[in-house]
Structure 1
Amino acid sequence: MFKKPLADLKTSAPIRSSDRRKLKQKVVDTYSLTAEVGELLVPDGLQSQKFSTHVNEHGIAYLSREGDPLWFTIGKASDELIPTVYTLWKHPNLLPFLSTPSAVIPKLINGADLMIPGVVQHTSPLSPNQLVSVTQYYPGMKVGAPIAVGKMAVSSEVLKESSGRWESGGEDLRGKAVFVLHTWKDWLWDMGPSKKMDLPEPRDLSANQAVNEDQVVEDDVEIASQDGTKKTNDETPPSATVEGKAEEAEQQEEETNKVNPEVTLTPDEVSTVLRSAFLQALSTSLASLPTSAYPIPASLFWATHVLPARPIYTDQGPIDPTFVDAKHSSYKSVKAFLKSSAKEGLIKLKEVKGDVVVTAVYPKHPAVASHRSHRTLHSVEEKREKAEERERKEKEQEEKKKSEIHAVELWKPHEKTIPFFVSAEKDTQELYTGAQIKQIFTTYVETKQLINARDQQYVNLADDNGLFEAVYIKGQETPEFMKREEALKRIRDNMQPWHEVKVEGSDAVRKKGAITPITIVVKVRQGRKAATLITGFETFQLDAEVLAEELRKICASSTTVNQLTGKPVAMQVMVQGKQIKKVVEFLISKGVSEKWIKAK
């Protein structure tokens, strides 16, 4: 849910004391807590912040005074308070838990739901739609810190049934166990200033957690030994008991790897598999083909539609797809197979120069209607190709990020703003980002109780000399009340601008002054000859000579480098012709953000 940045994050605002008390009482009643624990989980100074997720789901986050998200709701009409991982670390026993192997956790953080094969142990009873936490599995009577919160997709009885199948050597049940709502290190977690906290150590599994005894013993799954006896984790390394489950969870929707080796098929069995593939093709790809696509040569028909529809499993187990072909069947050839299918009324053939072509198909044949769909070789290959393509794009994105030139605006307390930062107990020699200044300002007006009682969008400037001085601008009237955003802007305007530029492979460079964008402008010279002029690239550690040489090749035009008049350290690169588009694309490829490119 929070795997991508929030689409619309509003300004946080403190909630009234009466509303906080109501929230605290609701938490106490919902989770059967004492008043003291309720005070810890719904502390004084609570703030609310409205947001929309990347899929346009509206919600409210409740933040601590410091800004850590503690609770959230999802849905405009929903008032269900869901604890964040920050809150679960304060009170780990707040929700029932399910444990999963460490290999699964990165998948959950990346936005996946927890699948049934990934559940190693869990508390009982659990019912669908119940809020639960997800923890990392540890052998013995230990349980890891919560790393996710979500809602049950199934009951604990379904999980027990899946575990029983696995222990007896069968396949786990498929499907989702938990719909994950929020995880450690997702975008909701990253909102908090405490996001760099280390993961807590695993804790002892206490008896008062209402853990079903059978499920605790799931950690000690009995494994059949070669001599037919049973042995438990007392005799086997704990990792061995979870290995199959971890493998299942990693692959999730993939076929279980606890299967027999690829089976050897007889010619008749190959024919049966090919017929199944043929019926699958008739019910899918061939059913949607227009009549204009016919006639189709037999070889093309076979390679394009029948072979990709071959199943990857039979009742005996997995099969080698390279072996399942007409020459290994009882038909011995594609032509014989198709003629047999034509006699059955599934297709219509025509002889052409000793070969056959398919002129029509009949997907409404009773044999097609009674065919049971299967997972095809094409679907597996398509999924693998998509995974490879996704991995390739992720690598490209990572490489692109590495080559990016990171330019950050910074501000330093200066003159009129120094008393404000002293009063806020902040270092006046430090450089601050815009987000940090906003956080300091928000905390300051809340702590000093400067929020206007009538309209929380406004702050009372007259009640605090430090803030009043920080927003004062000579020649402009400073009212008693001012909107937060306007006050924040004035504070930044009164601070000393700095910037930091970081290029991969070199140290970050901090300099006084605001960031000056790279300017690209086309000017017409004598004789109506146009030239593209580029200036301001020194800020981004780009060399003029290197820039000119690369642009000469890209634009296929002559380039020159000149010193700007009156600016001894500033250079200008000139490219013959109207080359704005190519120059912009080139600068972006070099890692310069489009934000810092000004083209005229």
Structure 2
Amino acid sequence: MFKKKPDIKNLSPLRSSDRRKLADQIILDYRIPVPEQQQQQQRQQQQSGDEASAPQPTVSSLRNSLLPESTSSARFTTTAGPNLSLVSGTIYVGAHPGQDERILWFQTGKNPRMIPTVYTLWQNPAIVPLLHTPDFVVEQKLTHGSDLMIPGLVKVMGSSWDARATAGAVVAVAGMKKDTVPMFIGTTEVDVSKLGDNLQGQKGVAVKGLHWAGDEAWSWRPLGSGGREAPESVDGWAGLTGDATNAMAAVTLDDDNDADGGVETHDGGVSLSQGTKDGAVNRDDLAEEVEEREPTTKEVDEAFQQAFLFAVHKAKTDNKGPHYGLDFPIQPSFLISGMIQPHLKFQNQHYNIKKTSWKNPKKFIKHLDKAGLLKSKDRNGGETVILDIDFDDMQVTSFRPYPLPKPKATAEGSSTKDPNSEAAGSSTDPSVGQKITIQTVYRASAKLVPTLLPSKTEFYSAQQISSALKSFVEQHPDLGGQGASSIKLDPFIANNILGSNPAHDDSRTLASGRILRSALQKRLLEDTHLCQPYHVITRGSAGSDQKPKAGPPPHVHITIEKRTGTKVVTKISNLEPFFIDPQLLTPELQKKCAGSASAGQLAGGRPGLLEVVVQGDQRKIVGDVLAKRGIDSKWIDVTDKTKGKKK
């Protein structure tokens, strides 16, 4: 939550009474065992005659440990989440004995629950459940603000999860080397205490991050900035066994290593057997599961830059100069599909150009140009191409390749396809061969409920609405009887249906006192004041439970227009609703149309929506390519702007 530096107001000291109330509330919320009262201890010491025994902890000392006497508070605001939503709350700043002032607790919004920081947990062991995950997950993911996925949880086989780690509980997470040092605090999204030993097949977020060692709350201090390094160990936290820690120390990136030495790896998680010392875990398998959560923009940016360096390094290693197998100028479409996508460390729907801070290939190329890695040039029509790459740049020469994810089979029997066939060239595009189904549904207005339709929150198909109208007429024989082509108007039809929209002139119908059945049914389905249209686009058998989206079904837009005099181009947009990635479609169109093709930000569209631009009037070829992706011609709108206006 503290990825961005919070705006903190002036600190004000807490009154002693308020500090005690807050400390008591923390003790109650986290069910912290309360020591005996000092008076009782003194009586016991007197009765036993042991006056020299060491003093025992008291309620006061527990309060001071949780909230030191010097604690101050202040309001803060920051932004959090993928949409950078505004978050406000209160921080509590204090100093433990011998240490400088730090943020020890914080509250957000209207939630009264106090959330501890790592500084509080390093001083107060075991006040929240402690979970564990491999060190590379802590270093590469959690301390960068990512959530902890269920497959990332690690537990010694035969032990049990902390019973306090129920859904919604505040928990801490530690790595394997420093297994008693909390580094990440968050709230559980699932009931971790009931996960069991085998996490195979379980997906989703386990712990949603709120604070971690390395964020802005960790680095904040009254004067200057910079966080305190984590200790090597913290007494009082329940760590893992030494054997388990040794087993996870054998984590390797070598795909040839097997994991049969007692450390069991599953698609859904990792479990460690006690007594294991020589086991190994394939880090890539676990990292793949961890990467199912949505990365930050900074992480996607870094992945794209590393993929570019990987592609250049590989070209220089596998080929001879001067261009090392690359044909210049390099089109933006080839940069993304031929250089970036194949060399991304994580290849899933979250890692695409739309998720970067650049949003489109043109700005990405400009960024690489500014960094001195290449030279680019803007061409007519706004396209930016790569003229040359600096193969001797220090970032290229010092680059160390990383293991790439293993390719997944796109469909059953795909391994038997001829690699030289046309389909093989598009095997990396999951939209090829897909079957698209579009269903239009309606939500009834209050004017139709409950007389015609039972609910205004349910969705109805056109057939269901027609059946409801038929049943209504049959239940009121005075309206015209069964099989009659026209219906007599009653107050409900006249007022609630025909009188619902002032934009319709129904004076003649109202004057005649009758309306055709077909006209009434058409009015129900086409008047948005009566039935609001929604649509559901599904791919194959997947997505049948998708939530309907408001509005009529979308269309793919193909526009033929002139540029720079006589040059004609074909523009294709609105592909995303049909599960088509414009970046993957561009290379195929470039090959089939035997001309340049590029994908860029859609003019006037929201950030991230792309359009593909191809040289020439290519509507026929584009239609055929879209048909292979399940797009029926009735879902395509073609606009020809090259024809002269009619006089």
TM-score grouping bracket, smaller chain normalisation: 0.3 to 0.5
